[in-house]
Amino acid sequence: MLKSRIREAISKSRTRESIEGYLFLLPNLLGFLIFLAIPLAISFYYSFTDYNLFTTPKFLGLANYAKALGVSFDPQAYQTALVQGKSWFAAVGAWIKPNDPTFWVALRNTLVYALGVLGFSIIPAFLLAWLLNSRLRGMTFYRALIYIPVVASVVGSALVWNWIYQQQSGALNTIISGTISWLNKLIFTAIGHPLVDPYIGWLVLPQYALFSLILMTSWATVGYDMVIFLAALQGIPVHLYEAATVDGASRWHILFRIIVPLMTPTIFFIFVINTISSLQIFSEPYIMTQGGPANSTLTIVYYLYQKGFQRFQMGYGSSLAWIVFALIFIITLIQFRLSGRWVYEE
Amino acid sequence: MSDWWGLWGWFVYSGGGSLFNADRTACGLTEPGSITGLQFMADLFLGPDRVAPPPGLEGGVGETEFHAGTVGMFPNGRWMTPSDRANDAFDWAVVEMPKGPGGNATWLFWGAYVINAQTEYPQQAWTVLKALTSPDVQAQIAALGTNIPSNKAQAAVDAFLNSKPPADNTPFINGAAYAQAEIPLFTGNWNDIVGGQYQPNIDKIFAGLATVQEAAQAACDGANPLFK
């Protein structure tokens, strides 16, 4: 009898604890369901439909995915290109006809952008962290200075960089023009070969616009990467440096034989995080270039925004969103699979 | 000028061409008149006599430079004239756009109000619509430089004609005789065709990456499958 009462009391207590636990979870759970899980499920459904926000979605099956990813082949165009004297590569390009060529332009831009940001942020961040990992006076100030762009809002940074990149009166072209003018006065005019001011249209010419965005994002990312690298650098045991120095290792030997191998888990982390955020790039082209000029900064997320929210093709836009998800998932998976070959785990 | 379609589109139209074919079921940029207009535009900005920097998001010249007094003239819409009027640093006026081989050209923009046929509140919507198109509100809109009145009542028309975004409304009134109304008569997806296919190729002309013929052909190749 007593045992039964005790069991009953424990059971009641557990039930009450469970209810309390769920109540504590509820705000977060509701937020997750309302703002993430349900919209994700709806977007997945829309990706199989023709939906313009105003009329009832019409089920299309895989048509949206086929439109984005599908290609057809035009042997006639291949032959014509060869007859016109175009290269074999150009002829193959003419032979393959994507169903939605703009999607492939956006995909190419996104991949180039991601690669560019990885290169222009990780390497400088690593070198900066290495340089700043010392006990020189004012080091805290320099570290804070490099970190400032991370806390600045993307919108504010983008507007400032818009001004920096302005062709006619921007800071960058003013510096380049001033430097060229100074060099001409100093050397080149005297030897009869004055340098010509390139007067670069950073954001207005297709050949420079994507690079300009890469540079701006890298500037904004370097601070974060540097802080992570710095923390990892400071976790390397001092006795390893001492032992290497006693053995006569140079600064470069220490860098490449001790620091870099021990930092590979951190490098991998930064690599994955930067890849994921770069593939989702939206704000910079939205604010600075609107995907132009000539689609040169049209990224895949900006393209899905155009399709979904500017052209009201919500079904196709949703399918593009899921393609971006799949792309990021596959690339991250490959990164993890390849990490075993170069990431040093203790 | 900026790279807005209304401005490069004006060159197409004044060259004797059109953004679309006659029944608006296909791209018209490869038509001889369109090529003439676009070529004139390209020569103007990129040729040996380049009169101004080519357009771009920040390239080209426009409102800012006009207000700063560094350019003598620039093309723009009537809706921008109230802000220009606020600039009293120098005298300025509006004139009709120059005549091209295709004759006079300009765009006709208006703001149409619509009620969804399936709305659950037709009476309330009608009340709002009547308020929006009343002569008083139309006069306020006209003073902002935008929109030909949606209400044909004489009071609304008078309010529009007597509004003074620029001091002289004559060029706009004259323009009504030959103005081209592309968007309201076009039933395809404007953003997909003009924004998605025409604009990137026009950008290539301005960037010197494509000839007018190449850009027009690429624009039409991309756009024609999108016409319904």
- Whole-angstrom distance, CA of residue B137 vs CA of residue B162: 14
Are residues B227 and B193 in contact, defined by beta-carbon separation less than 8 angstroms? yes
- Closest residue on chain A to B193 (Cα): A311
Give the pLDDT band of residue B56 (cuts 50, 70, 90).
Answer: low
In which element (H, E) is residue A309 found? none
Question: Cβ of A220: how many Cβ atoms within 10 Å?
Answer: 20
- What CATH number does the domain located at A101-166+202-342 have? 1.10.3720.10
Residue B165 has pLDDT above 60, yes or no: yes
Residue A147 has pLDDT above 80, yes or no: yes
- Residues of chain A in contact with residue B54, where contact means CB-CB under 8 angstroms, are 204
Span(s) in chain B for CATH 3.40.190.10: 5-108+176-226
- Whole-angstrom distance, CA of residue B28 vs CA of residue A170: 38
Domains of chain A, residue spans: 101-166+202-342
Interchain pair B3, A310: CB under 8 A: no
Interchain pair A311, B204: CB under 8 A: no
The amino acid sitting at A305 is Y
Fold of B5-108+176-226: D-Maltodextrin-Binding Protein; domain 2 (3.40.190)
pLDDT at A287: 92
Mean pLDDT of all residues belonging to chain B: 85
Q: What is the DSSP letter of A185?
A: I
Tokens of A73: 């082949």
Strands in chain A per DSSP E: 49-50, 58-59, 71-73, 96-98
Question: Cβ of A36: how many Cβ atoms within 10 Å?
Answer: 10
The amino acid sitting at A218 is S
Q: What are phi and psi of A58, to 5 degrees?
A: -110, 125
Mean pLDDT of all residues belonging to chain A: 91
pLDDT digit string, tens, across residues B188-203: 888 889 999 999 999 9
Are residues A169 and B53 in contact, defined by beta-carbon separation less than 8 angstroms? no
Tokens of B164: 């003074």
pLDDT at A49: 97
The amino acid sitting at A308 is G
Express as a percent the part of chain A with pLDDT over 70: 99
Q: Who among A167, A206, A292 is closest to B209 (CB)?
A: A206
ipTM of the complex in this document: 0.78
- Whole-angstrom distance, CA of residue B195 vs CA of residue A25: 46
Average pLDDT, integer, range A148-158? 90
Give the pLDDT band of residue A183 (cuts 50, 70, 90).
Answer: very high
From the list A150, A129, A294, the residue with the least C-alpha distance to A218 is A150
pLDDT digit string, tens, across residues A275-316: 999 999 999 999 999 998 999 999 999 999 999 998 899 999
Tokens of B85: 């009027």
Are residues B159 and B149 in contact, defined by beta-carbon separation less than 8 angstroms? yes
Residue B59 has pLDDT above 60, yes or no: no
pLDDT at B57: 47
Provide the shortest C-alpha distance from residue B159 to chain A (in Å): 34
pLDDT digit string, tens, across residues A194-222: 999 888 889 988 999 999 999 999 999 99
pLDDT at B184: 64
Picking from A320-324, B99-103, B165-169, which range would have the lowest pLDDT averaged per residue? B165-169
